[in-house]
Amino acid sequence: MPGRRLAGTVMVETKKLMRALAGEVQAVPPVWLMRQAGRYLPEYKATRARAGDFLSLCYTPELAAEVTLQPIRRYGFDAAILFADILLVPQALGADLWFVTGEGPRLSTVTSRADFDALKPADAIHETLAPVYETVRILTRELPDETALIGFAGAPWTVATYMTAGRGTPDQAPAHALREGEPAVFDALMARLTEATIDYLSMQIEAGAEVVKLFDSWAGSLKGEAFARYALEPAKTIIGAVKAKHPEIPVIAFPREAGERYVGFAKATGADCVALDNSVSAEWAAENVQVDGCVQGNLDPRHMVTGGQPLIDETKRIKAAFSKGPHIFNLGHGITPEADPENVHAMLEAIRG
């Protein structure tokens, strides 16, 4: 069992998530869910109503900590993920950000040199993001001893897709247009986001995050050389810089829909674990990705809506496929508002027995 040496004694790592990230193969894998704090839970909706709106919830540490803890109390997941959003970083850099109910995020856009020049420097983000660090500090006191605390940020490419379009897009066309049409502006934006992400993750770690995750939700629209330049390289830079300051902190990378570009991604970037979406089969990923170390994933989130025997069968199949290496059970993407909270219990029963 991996342990840390402290003043002549060996501290045995008891958290299942940390053990998987250190490479341990466990008969029952640790489990948590992307978006585990969210609108499928009535207690989340009640706290969000108290906060008034989503961004007020993110910036009110007591309430953000409360919604982080809700799925831990209800399900006993092996990890809690800090409640915040990847789009708080652009807001902290000076972009306007608001959420349209039923539609999603809206931001002021960066599509020219003048827009870029109006952004704040990376080290200015902490003024806006200080409440997030306070949420982390509250959680380090309130989480059960066996629950690991995950901090996170959006990867530069994914955050840049929202900053260039001003909203979510099906094909990330505005970001592709800017990187091709104005490469100097786009590269400057990527560099600013990379620096801000390093600072942001480092502050979360200093506040008490034990693991950090980098969400590159739109990595799948980058192919070939563009994938290397805008997904792999920034991840490598961020992971290298975070680990230079905090070598003991494991990093989970999620280049969603990378497909065959998942192969070798952990080795190339220094990530301790690669999170898999549900477009790749667990059997393929065990053979081609898990050979390099821990993987996370990858149940289709639709099973949380539809439930029944297919949910049980798929859960067991994924657990079995990854049983020969280190594995963290999760979905391939976030749980959706239509999910039935009872289906999460059924999934946990299928994993833990």
Is 162 catalytic? The answer is yes
Structure letter (DSSP) for residue 172: -
Closest contact distance (angstroms) between CB of 27 and ligand CP3 is: 26
Give the burial class of 230: count Cβ atoms within 10 A of its Cβ; 0-12 exposed, 13-18 middle, 19 or more buried: buried
Closest CB to ligand CP3 among 321 and 339?
339
- CB-wise, 69 or 286, nearer to ligand CP3? 69
Instruction: Decide if 48 is catalytic.
Output: yes
Q: How far is the CB of 35 from ligand CP3 (least distance, A)?
A: 4
Least spacing, CB of residue 10 vs ligand CP3, in Å: 33
In order of 86, 119, 181, 195, the CA distances from 186 in angstroms are 19, 13, 9, 14
Tokens for 283, please give them: 């059997």
Shortest distance, position 8 Cβ to ligand CP3, whole Å: 38
Closer Cβ to ligand CP3, 98 or 267, answer by number:
98
CB of 304 to ligand CP3, least distance (A): 13
Residues forming the site for ligand CP3 (CB under 6 A): 34-39, 48, 54, 81, 83, 85-87, 104-105, 152, 168, 215, 217, 334
DSSP labels, 1-13 = --EEEETTEEEEP
Q: What tokens appear for 136 in the block?
A: 């982390």
- Phi-psi domain of 52 (left: phi exceeds 0; alpha: psi -120 through 50; beta: other): left
Does 85 participate in catalysis according to the annotation? yes
Lookup: tokens for 34: 């992307």
Please provide residue 186's backbone torsions phi and psi, each rounded to the nearest 5 degrees. -65, -40
Q: How far apart are CA 227 and CA 59, in angstroms?
A: 33
Q: Which of 324, 325, 321, 312 is nearest to 352 (CA)?
A: 312
Annotated catalytic residue, options 19, 40, 44, 48? 48
Cβ nearer to ligand CP3, comparing 151 with 326 = 151
Give the whole-angstrom CA distance, residue 13 versus residue 87: 33
Q: Residue 48 CB, nearest distance to ligand CP3 (Å)?
A: 5
Residue with Cβ nearer ligand CP3 (321 or 335): 335
272 among known catalytic residues = no
Q: Which of 44, 59, 75, 162 is catalytic?
A: 162
Q: Which residue is nearest to ligand CP3 (CB)?
A: 217
- Tell me how far CA of residue 247 lies from CA of 251, 253, 272, in angstroms: 10, 16, 11
Measured CA to CA, the distance from residue 326 to residue 341 in angstroms comes to 27
Find the catalytic residue in 74, 85, 115, 229. Answer: 85
167 in active site: no
Between 152 and 322, name the residue whose CB sits nearer to ligand CP3.
152
Q: Which residues are catalytic?
A: 35, 39, 48, 85, 162
